[in-house]
Structure 1
């Protein structure tokens, strides 16, 4: 298994960032390739993903360590992926979101296609970094006055 860790600092309070991560239906707004997402009973999520020219559905289980502000997830079938989002308050109005993803490079290639080896690791790192930046934009725009949100 390979492990990737990335983080982004977001200009919203930790409670708002925590709530944003739990709105699974918003994932298509900031996660590359996710075309649809729903949260079912017992923390089970369904993600409809398009990547490498392939459309697939994935089931994942989400679990909270709310007292620690950690949201853990893992797929319940192929591909075997797992990870977590940890939220750390920087100050009253800023939060660091740390993403950790564990994956098997061969499985990712089989599932989505794309490059091998170092090029694949770079591509995955870039995608995760971009997703975190999109999460930042999504949550920060959500709080803007006159945006019609929170």
Structure 2
């Protein structure tokens, strides 16, 4: 398994950053390679991705969700294997540190090479930078789910 850890400071309160992150269907607006996400239940999402010509569909289950603190997930079934957590850290009333930690299993030669060259890390960093731009430009979340999954 490979690991990625990235973080970014966003200029919105912790509840705004967290609430927006719970709007999984909006991820294609700031995550490159993500074509569509369907929220099937409170804890199950279906992802459609296309990265460098590799098309994938997989399900991910929310394994832990604590409002304004963290969202953790793992893929279920299928060939795609990944798990991770995004945590939200209040810096002050108007700033939040968003931290991503993810483990994944590269599939095939191209993904293994891409991982070794740091492409996944760069993509994660770029996704967080696009999230920062997305939420700061909006200034408010597009929705939010405040339920807990423990």
What are the superposed Cα offsets for residues 105-149 of structure 1, whole Å, 9 maximum, x if unpaired? xxx242964725631xx11110000000011111111117xxxx6
User: Pairwise CA RMSD of aligned residues?
Assistant: 2.2
Q: 1:116 to 1:41 in 2, by over 3 A?
A: closer
| Maintained 8 Å contact 2:15/2:68 | no
Deviates more, 1:128-137 or 1:40-49: 40-49
Q: Could you say which structure has the greater relative contact order, defined with CA pairs below 8 angstroms and 6 or more residues apart? A: 2
What are the superposed Cα offsets for residues 6-51 of structure 1, whole Å, 9 maximum, x if unpaired? 1000000000001111001101011110011111114100111011
Which runs of 5 or more structure 1 residues have no equivalent in the other structure? none
What are the superposed Cα offsets for residues 46-86 of structure 1, whole Å, 9 maximum, x if unpaired? 11101121222110011334167110011113211000000
The 5 Å alignment of 1:8-47 reads 8-47=8-47
Q: 1:67 to 1:16 in 2, by over 3 A?
A: closer
Runs of 4+ in 1 over 3 A off after TM superposition: 111-114
* Residue 142 (structure 1) aligned with residue 143 (structure 2): no
Q: 1:51 to 1:67 in 2, by over 3 A?
A: closer
Residues of 2 paired with 1:111 and 1:59: CA distance? 23
Deviates more, 1:129-138 or 1:54-63: 54-63
* Residue 125 (structure 1) aligned with residue 121 (structure 2): yes
Instruction: State the TM-score, normalizing by the size of structure 1.
Output: 0.85
Q: 1:20 to 1:111 in 2, by over 3 A?
A: farther
Greater fraction helix: 1
Aligned length: 141
SS of 2:17's partner is helix
